[in-house]
Amino acid sequence: MKRFQPRFAIISRIRENERDAKRQSLADAYRAESILQEQKKELLEQITEVLNIRREVTHAKKLQPSILMTSQRYEHDLRAQVQRIDEDITAVRKEIDKRQEELILAEKEVRTLEVLNERLRAEHRIAEQREEQKLLDEVASRRHWEKLSKQEA
């Protein structure tokens, strides 16, 4: 009997490539979130520095209003940047959720094709075993008839 050829090999490869692309896309989204988190952390550290500097300036003997105003404006700008990054992080998290769902669906498609191919492989194996059994039965039957015809002769 001929060798088993998976019927869905090409489709399986296509689905696996799509799944791998979705997996890479999800990894990219996680990297983007990580970068945004790092940027937020740096901005929060800068805000802390600005607050420390302002505290030192306020406790100094000679108060400098221009430095206080500049530091307040700078802090306000930093806080606005943190807010924008928070919005970006929220958007990236939504995208991560979407990409996770897409990856789950792609995994299911690949698994479905794998199960189907295994089922077809098992059916092919059973058909091969039946064919082999037929041949063995035919050989046994011939030998039996040959043996009987020799005994009669």
Whether 59 has a pLDDT exceeding 90, the answer reads: no
Supply the DSSP string of 95-119, one letter for each residue. HHHHHHHHHHHHHHHHHHHHHHHHH
Q: Which residues are CB-neighbours of 79 under 8 A, at least 6 positions away? A: 47
- The answer to whether residue 17 is domain-embedded is yes
Q: In this structure, how many other beta carbons lie within 10 angstroms of the beta carbon of residue 19?
A: 20
Range of the domain at 24: 9-113
Structure tokens at 111: 């698994």
- The 3-class SS string of 32-60 reads HHHHHHHHHHHHHHHHHHHHHHHHHHHHC
- The answer to whether residue 90 is domain-embedded is yes
- Please state, in angstroms and rounded to a whole number, the distance separating the CA atoms of residues 147 and 80: 99
- Please state, in angstroms and rounded to a whole number, the distance separating the CA atoms of residues 64 and 69: 9
What local confidence, expressed as pLDDT, does residue 153 receive? 65
Average pLDDT, the chain: 90
| Domain total of the chain | 1
pLDDT per position as a tens digit, 1-58: 577 677 778 888 999 999 999 999 999 999 999 999 999 999 999 999 999 988 888 7
Q: Which residues are CB-neighbours of 109 under 8 A, at least 6 positions away? A: 15, 18, 19
- Minimum mean pLDDT among 41-55, 60-74, 132-146: which range? 60-74
Whether 105 has a pLDDT exceeding 90, the answer reads: yes
- Please state, in angstroms and rounded to a whole number, the distance separating the CA atoms of residues 119 and 67: 76
- Minimum mean pLDDT among 19-28, 62-71, 133-142: which range? 62-71
- The answer to whether residue 61 is domain-embedded is yes
Mean pLDDT of 49-75: 85
Reported pTM:
0.74
- The answer to whether residue 135 is domain-embedded is no
- The answer to whether residue 14 is domain-embedded is yes
Radius of gyration of the chain (CA): 36
- The answer to whether residue 119 is domain-embedded is no
pLDDT per position as a tens digit, 115-124: 998 998 898 8
Q: Using DSSP, how many helices (H) and how many strands (E) does the chain show?
A: 2, 0
Handedness of CA 118, 120, 126, 128 (dihedral sign): negative
